[in-house]
Amino acid sequence: MTVRPPRMNSNKDRESALGYEIVQEQAAALGRLGRALEAALAALSEHDGLHTEGHIEQTAAGAVRARLLREASDALWCFVVQREACGLRDQKTIMRDYRVPADVQNRMGVCGAATRLPTG
């Protein structure tokens, strides 16, 4: 007696299986991007905690902070876009739950000069 694997009887079964896999990947991507946002925000916060205005050399610390701010705002942008792709549109909860600083929020989605396409 031969045992055969279950057959998908219809297109609906195949669509259901594919839909399940898509939702799994969306959730996994959302988790990865959330962890990346947390790490970027933690690095920025740590930098700010270590370098208060009176105790740093402005040029070097300013360049490091600018890079950390860009990384945090890029991570926020990616996370927001992924959430919206999953149908989660309320950004207020992200800003509150992740304690996103205003300067990171204000820079979200801004492209640097190096990433812009040439005009003309």
Give phi and psi for 109, each to the nearest 5. Answer: 85, -5
Over range 96-111, report the average pLDDT: 93
Give this prediction's pTM: 0.74
Asked if residue 7 has pLDDT above 80, the reply is no
Q: Distance between CA atoms of 6 and 39, rounded to whole angstroms? A: 44
Q: Tens digit of pLDDT for each residue in 45-103?
A: 999 888 765 555 566 778 899 999 999 999 999 999 999 999 999 999 999 999 999 99
Q: What's the pLDDT band for 116 if we cut at 50, 70, 90?
A: very low
Q: Residue 33: CB partners within 8 Å, gap ≥ 6?
A: 75, 78, 79, 82
Q: Tens digit of pLDDT for each residue in 22-34?
A: 999 999 999 999 9
Distances (CA, A) of 48 to 5, 13, 19, 42, 76: 58, 53, 43, 10, 18
Q: What is the DSSP string of 23-66?
A: HHHHHHHHHHHHHHHHHHHHHHHHHHHH--GGGS-HHHHHHHHH
Tokens 């959302």 found at: 30
Q: Distance between CA atoms of 61 and 47, rounded to whole angstroms? A: 9
Asked if residue 9 has pLDDT above 90, the reply is no
